[in-house]
């Protein structure tokens, strides 16, 4: 069931619900485009492209979970929110989903609204709220940043998975009867495991970037500079 | 860098479908998929008709059935859910091969497999006949916001940068005595994922600055636009597929 939260394919959710979510996603993305345009400067444009490419590559890593008859993959919403901010971040994940749907048949085109709502909007929004709160609460150290990235990534994946459960409850094409609660449980459990992997990748990446190029981390803008000690190892990165 | 021209799924050819402008193909593919999804699941004949339509387009595009079907395996993990449905579903139970299965679940599974497969085949046909560059030009001509096409352009361009850096880092690890085998590769890879990201970014930043200094303004140059936007005639030609699909869907809705 895991893959569904990630990529709902055609025919899993009925048409009217898909249409409602498509309209919702379109409205939200319009907002993101308007806000994101302001954010997208010369430094953020290549970063946004790379974040999208990174998410695209990372989503290819599928973890089959044979016992549940499902497979899952990483999401990347938290990484995007951390590095390019919530608006551009949501756009990055959406672009990945659109290209996957159009070219690779990953997730149905008619279900794009649902997929964007779950992964790009819900996932990124949840991650950014957590990041904003945690960065204020936790100490301004690499460890604090790592914990922020880990927790935000892990929980955002679970939130995105519950978005699918909600959509299935509204318009699933097959009545699961009392099994919906168990669907929610399975989804949450499986995604918690995936979230741990996602959290580790997000934390490692963000901490490395913050150490070498703190100017690139959107979430650290506006906070006191020198939050993370700059390591003079830039030369090694060429 | 030979990036931005083809991609793994692109099939070099000069068929009538390849020659159609990308925006026309994108619209046709989306309308076709929506028509398929809107079809009631009990109208079995309609799905046969859709499959026939896909086969005709594939033949026109000179895409062999073997290539198409083996690439369609990508949806396997997605339809796994369908396998579970007959067991999870509620309501009437029917006896199939000695198993008590939910009738509603069986219908649901058929629904997902049929609609999912048709959707995957449609997008594979689009991918096989359109380069990624054309895809972005098409989205641009369909008035997709520039922020999105810009992110998409960089994403496709940087994918190669990312893969290249990963390969270089692997070679560097091996030449320093790392002996990766099977899963153990993952450890070295995971430890270096932050560095990989940074290296790819700094390379990508240089690519971006080079583009800026050559006059990049957020939109791709006219050269990319190629033969120009679609003519009315091309729109009409490509409209045949979605129109046929929509009439099948309408007939199916009326009949059931």
B118 in any annotated domain: yes
Same-domain check for residues B126 and B150:
no
pTM: 0.80
d(C-alpha B105, C-alpha B189), whole Å: 42
State the CB neighbour count (10 A cutoff) for residue A103.
21
Q: Does residue B5 form part of some domain?
A: no
**Contact across the interface for B198 and A40, Cβ inside 8 Å:** no
Q: Which residues of A touch B104 (CB under 8 A)?
A: 174-175
B-chain CB neighbours of A69 within 8 Å are 80-81, 83-84
Residues B187 and B246 in one domain: no
Predicted local distance difference test score (pLDDT) of residue B71 = 75
pLDDT at B87: 63
- Residue B243 inside a domain? The answer is yes
A19 close contact with B: CB closer than 8 A: no
d(CA B187, CA B193): 10
Give me the number of domains chain B comprises. Answer: 2
Residue for token pair 């006896």: B95
> Which residue ranges of chain B lie beneath pLDDT 50?
1-5
Q: Which CATH class is domain A2-229?
A: mainly alpha
Same domain, residue pair B109 and B23:
yes
Asked whether residue B26 falls in the same domain as residue B125, the answer is: yes
Q: Give the gap in angstroms from C-alpha B46 to the nearest C-alpha of chain A.
A: 15
Does B240 lie in the same domain as B206? no
Total residue count of chain B as it appears in this document? 256
Query: What string of pLDDT tens digits covers the 238 residues of chain A?
Result: 334 435 676 667 777 788 888 888 888 888 888 888 887 777 788 888 888 888 888 776 665 554 444 555 677 888 888 888 888 888 888 888 888 888 776 667 777 888 888 888 888 888 888 888 888 888 778 888 888 888 888 888 888 888 887 887 887 666 666 667 777 777 777 778 888 888 888 888 888 888 888 887 887 776 655 444 445 444 444 4
pLDDT for the residue B102: 67
Question: Is residue A157 within 8 Å of A187, Cβ to Cβ?
Answer: no
Residue B165, C-beta contacts closer than 8 angstroms, at least 6 positions apart: B196, B199, B200, B203
Longest dimension (CA), chain B: 70
Nearest to A99 by CA among A163, A66, A146, A55: A55
Q: Are A23 and A117 in contact (CB under 8 A)?
A: no
User: Does residue B8 sit within a domain?
Assistant: no
**Based on the domain organization, do B185 and B112 belong to the same domain?**
no
Domain check: are B132 and B71 in the same one?
yes
Query: Among A81, A93, A79, A88, which Cα is nearest to A7's?
Result: A93
Residues B202 and B156 in one domain: yes
Same domain, B74 and B23: yes
Chain B residue numbers with beta carbons less than 8 Å from the beta carbon of A146 are none
Q: What is the pLDDT of residue B13?
A: 72
Query: Where do we find the tokens 């009925």?
Result: A14
Cβ-Cβ contacts under 8 Å for B197 (sequence gap 6 or more): A50, A54, A205, A208, A209
Rounded (10°) angle between helices A77-99 and A142-171 = 40
pLDDT of residue A226: 47
Distance to chain B for A71, nearest Cα, Å: 6
Q: What pLDDT shows up at residue B155?
A: 86
3-class state of residue A172 by DSSP: strand
Q: Provide the pLDDT for residue A64.
A: 54
**How high is the pLDDT of residue A2?**
36
CB proximity under 8 Å: B 22-81 to A: 26, 29-30, 33-34, 36-38, 41, 72, 74-75, 77-81
Query: Is B104 contained in some domain?
Result: yes
| ipTM rounded to 2 decimals | 0.77
> Do B109 and B160 lie in a common domain?
no
Minimal-distance CA residue of chain B relative to A203: B194
Q: Domain limits at B112?
A: 16-138+228-255
Distances (CA, A) of A111 to A176, B97, B136: 20, 33, 21
Is there a single domain that holds both residue B154 and residue B132? Answer: no
With respect to residue B66, please indicate whether it lies within any of the assigned structural domains.
yes
Tell me whether residue B1 is in a domain: no
Distance CA(A31)–CA(A12), nearest Å, equals: 28
pLDDT value, residue B51: 86
């Amino acid at each position: 069931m895991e893959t569904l939260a990630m990529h709902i394919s055609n025919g899993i959710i009925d048409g009217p619900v898909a249409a409602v979510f498509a309209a919702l996603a379109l409205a939200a993305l319009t907002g993101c485009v308007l806000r994101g345009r302001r954010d997208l400067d010369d430094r953020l444009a290549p970063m946004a492209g790379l974040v999208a490419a990174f998410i695209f590559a990372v989503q290819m890593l599928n973890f089959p979970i044979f016992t549940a008859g499902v497979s899952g993959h990483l999401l990347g919403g938290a990484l995007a929110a951390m590095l390019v901010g919530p608006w551009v971040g949501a756009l990055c994940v959406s672009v990945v989903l659109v290209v996957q749907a159009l070219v690779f048949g990953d997730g149905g085109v008619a279900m794009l609204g649902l997929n964007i709502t779950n992964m790009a909007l819900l996932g990124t929004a949840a991650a950014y709220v957590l990041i904003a709160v945690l960065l204020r609460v936790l100490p301004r150290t690499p460890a604090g940043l790592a914990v922020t990235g880990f927790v935000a990534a892990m929980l955002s994946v679970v939130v995105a998975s519950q978005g699918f459960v909600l959509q299935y409850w509204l318009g699933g094409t097959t009545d699961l009867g009392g099994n919906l609660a168990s669907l929610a449980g399975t989804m949450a459990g499986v995604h918690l495991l995936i979230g741990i992997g996602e959290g580790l990748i997000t934390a490692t990446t963000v901490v490395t970037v913050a150490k070498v190029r703190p100017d690139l981390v959107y979430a650290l803008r506006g906070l006191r500079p020198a939050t993370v000690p700059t390591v003079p190892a830039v030369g090694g990165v060429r | 860098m030979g990036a931005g021209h083809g991609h793994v799924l692109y099939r070099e050819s000069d068929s009538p479908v390849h020659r159609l402008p990308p925006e026309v193909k994108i619209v046709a593919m989306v309308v076709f998929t929506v028509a398929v999804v809107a079809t009631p699941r009990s109208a079995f004949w309609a799905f046969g008709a859709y499959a026939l339509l896909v086969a005709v387009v594939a033949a026109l595009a000179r895409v062999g059935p073997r290539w198409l079907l083996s690439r369609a395996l990508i949806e396997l993990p997605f339809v796994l859910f369908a396998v579970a449905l007959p067991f999870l579903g509620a309501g009437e139970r029917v006896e199939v091969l000695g198993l008590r299965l939910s009738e509603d679940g069986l219908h649901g599974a058929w629904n997902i497999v049929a609609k999912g497969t048709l959707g995957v085949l449609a997008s594979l046909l689009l991918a096989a006949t359109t380069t990624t560059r054309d895809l972005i030009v098409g989205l641009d001509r369909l008035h997709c916001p520039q922020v999105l096409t810009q992110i998409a352009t960089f994403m496709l361009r940087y994918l190669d940068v990312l893969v290249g850096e990963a390969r270089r880092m692997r070679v560097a690890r091996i030449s320093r005595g790392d002996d990766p085998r099977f899963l153990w590769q993952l450890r070295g890879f995971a430890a270096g994922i932050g560095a990989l990201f940074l290296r790819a970014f700094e390379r990508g930043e240089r690519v971006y600055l080079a583009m800026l200094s050559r006059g990049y303004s957020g939109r791709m140059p006219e050269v990319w636009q190629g033969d120009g936007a679609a003519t009315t005639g091309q729109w009409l030609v490509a409209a045949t597929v979605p129109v046929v699909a929509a009439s099948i869907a309408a007939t199916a809705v009326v009949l059931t």
